[in-house]
Amino acid sequence: MLPGKIRMMTPGTYIAKRRQAAGLSIDDVAAMVSTSPRLGVIDRRAWIERIEQDVASISYDVAATLADAFPLSLHVLKQLIDLRSFGQCSGPEPSLCIHCGCSDRDPCIDPETHAACGWAAGDICTSCTGKDSSHAA
């Protein structure tokens, strides 16, 4: 691995990873979020897919809607959107786990110990190390 930053993940990838880390399917999220104008669940599903593929744009309202459905850092998401749009963002670039997309602002919480995850190795957090990735999409 190269020293320093790997290529920063896109906003859509970040959202997809945080959704998967929360154990939610796109259908789950489509059932949870409300949109304006109101979309049917089929349309909402397609809309979420387009967001995760970085096709649909992510407004602040959209980001806030998704953040209600599963844990993600709106600050990190805005930074990723700015990096993708302008090649730069305010403040230092976020450090994200390449597996689950968690960050210092949005760490994994161990359900038993309630401890936040830390950095195991560069771009992987402690709650993702040792996990087998065979079921990763």
Interface contacts to Zn ion, rule CB under 5 A: 97, 99-100, 102, 108, 117, 125, 127-128
Taking the complex as a whole, how short is the minimal distance between the CB of residue 56 and Zn ion, in angstroms? 25
Alpha-carbon span 78 to 93, nearest angstrom = 11
Taking the complex as a whole, how short is the minimal distance between the CB of residue 68 and Zn ion, in angstroms? 20
Taking the complex as a whole, how short is the minimal distance between the CB of residue 5 and Zn ion, in angstroms? 17
* Residue closer to Zn ion, measured from CB, 9 or 62: 9
Reduced to 3 states (helix: H, G, I; strand: E, B; else coil), residue 116 is: strand
Residue 106's DSSP bridge partners are 103
Cβ atoms within 10 Å of 51's Cβ, excluding its own: 21
* Residue closer to Zn ion, measured from CB, 79 or 127: 127
Reduced to 3 states (helix: H, G, I; strand: E, B; else coil), residue 83 is: helix
